[in-house]
Structure 1
């Protein structure tokens, strides 16, 4: 009997287990993806973002999400395949040819590892002993489970991306800018039509936040159309909420319950962003003071300009830096939120 190579055995088991744990963490956990998945996702996105010139309108960026999905799947397959191959390689006599019982070469073991994990069961190579037959059974069963789980992971991810687009369209349909959202909601007395939409907005936004925890890969699904861009839409919604809260006179009747509901939904999303994607806000992400002239022309009951400026430039400064950083990460700017405003 030829001696076993413990280095190959240990390395193979380590690679196989790390890959399996990453698959389980990413596909079955509700608390984010595995480290391999996160590293691959960030690496591929960074490459696409750089090649696109960091422009959110680039036609290249929408391909980043699908490419990340496929790359993650291939990384998992390669990890399982390589790990199982190294385990087989640790014993020179682990696999034999079924035709003449001669030892399989390393390249033939690579082939054997591949068709075992894919459960093809070709049969031209077989395990040499009961121990290696059991190892082969374990490899075939785990390959079936992990690869099937990996492929079915695509379905909820694509469903979450669909909700993301729906939320973007919903917010964009309320108005092209935060000012337009308020103008379209104002009936001369209050903003009842805005609050009529709040429950739906909160539900979709909270589900979107939960989806980010379960399927963080959706963060890298980008749409080059501004009205379908989720980061731009959420920033617009937050600015609309803050204009209502800090820009309207006290006598304006605001639904406090729904204001608080929307505040909580927005805060939960931004907490998720800070925890997973934005470690430090960008120094160049400062936000402009919203233009109030259009609101004045339409007769909305605004506070004094200095009071509004104080709130937006001091009280909300850090929050708006975070929002600006989120925009920058996806190739957008504050000008995309406020359109003509620079």
Structure 2
């Protein structure tokens, strides 16, 4: 008995199962292996695309991440089972001749056991290895089921992400345009009528990030369908709206809470060690000033964005850069 192979096999198998369970059944994000693989695959695509959000290559990053996660789980379970069988020279024999299986044949046996095929041309020699085989077969069945139950809602969450992006970008291509489009000459009731739907979709999107962090790596190279520029646009419009005299305080508080929750999730999950490499621009206020929408003068409003919102806008800048975008896509010069 080679105890090194046995320990390594058990360790690899158990770590893979734990990561699979944490990723598919937990509502608090993916396992460490899944998270590392997701980030690694994304970084490869991100660098290969030139860190350009418009690159079509980035559109394949999300599916590639899912496939990579699946392959890592397969390799982990298969490799762990193989190492355990390899620890005992006589663990598996050929059923027709009872000849001891070669390492390659043990690899094949481990594969068809985990895939629940149950071919039967090779068999375990002792009760202990039969139990190991049964446990591996049940693990394989659970793996297939868990993978399906994980990937389906992930794709559903990606659909919601695109829907939210299109919903926001449809309200205006820039924060200023969004506010001007919402003004009916008296108030912003047309905007506040949509706030409940916006908050509901954004909160669901935030919760999806907790349960399925992998959706962050599903990138759309079309600006109007890209989630990061859309949410940054909404956040900027929200803070411009705070500087006007016509506000629905309840709806503003709802939107504030929802945006803060989303940004906190991004800070904790994806921006722990990331810093902004550029400065956020000061919004052009003349279009709003001409309509008499600003409660304060332009210099006071600019100070709000440059000083009071400085840290928040650094976070927004890092979020844009992390996804291959810049403020040009928010303020209209990068369409």
Give the TM-score band, short-chain normalised: over 0.9
Aligned to 1:167: 164
Is the CA contact (8 Å cut-off) linking 2:276 and 2:317 kept in structure 1? no
Residue 9 (structure 1) shift: 0.6
1:96 matched to which residue of 2? 93
Q: In the aligned structure 1, how far is the partner of 2:146 from the partner of 2:304?
A: 49
Equivalent residues of 1:285, 1:322 under 8 A apart: no
For each residue in 1:176-212, what CA deviation from the matched residue of structure 2 results, as whole angstroms up to 9, or x when unmatched?
1000100000111111111000000000000000000
Greater Cα shift, 186-195 or 25-34: 186-195
SS of the aligned residue for 2:120 comes to coil
Which residues of 2 match residues 191-270 of structure 1 at below 5 A? 191-245=188-242, 247-248=243-244, 252-270=245-263
The answer as to whether partners of 1:296 and 1:302 remain within 8 angstroms in 2 is no
SS of structure 2 residue aligned to 1:32? coil
1:109 to 99, 106, 111: 106
In the alignment, is residue 75 of structure 1 matched against residue 72 of structure 2?
A: yes
Change (3 A) 1:234 1:77: same
**What displacement does 1:280 show?**
4.0
Deviations 1:206-245 (A, max 9, x none): 0000000000000000000000000000000000000011
Instruction: State the Cα distance separating 1:67 from its structure 2 match.
Output: 0.5
4+ residue runs of structure 1 moved beyond 3 angstroms? none
Question: Could you tell me how far apart the structure 2 residues matched to 1:97 and 1:42 are?
Answer: 42
Structure 2 residue aligned with 1:152 = 149
1:17, distance to aligned residue in structure 2 (A): 0.3
Is the 2:276–2:315 Cα contact (8 Å) retained in structure 1? Answer: no
Deviation at 1:153, TM superposition (A): 1.2
Q: Give TM-score, length-normalised by structure 2.
A: 0.98
Contact 1:27 1:150 in 2 (8 A): yes
Contact 1:25-1:33 at 8 Å conserved across structures:
yes
Show the counterpart of 1:65. Answer: 62
Give me the CA root mean square deviation. Answer: 1.1
Name the count of aligned residue pairs. 334
State the SS of the aligned residue for 1:272.
helix
CA–CA distance in structure 2, aligned partners of residues 340 and 83 of structure 1: 53
Match 1:43 to one of 26, 40, 43: 40
Separation of aligned partners in 1, 2:142 and 2:13: 14
Query: Any idea what SS the aligned residue of 2:170 has?
Result: helix
1:332 maps to what in 2?
325
What is the distance in 1 between the residues matched to 2:76 and 2:144? 11
TM-score of the aligned structures, taking structure 1 as reference length: 0.96
Gaps of at least 5 residues in structure 2 are none
Query: 2:75 aligns to what SS in structure 1?
Result: helix
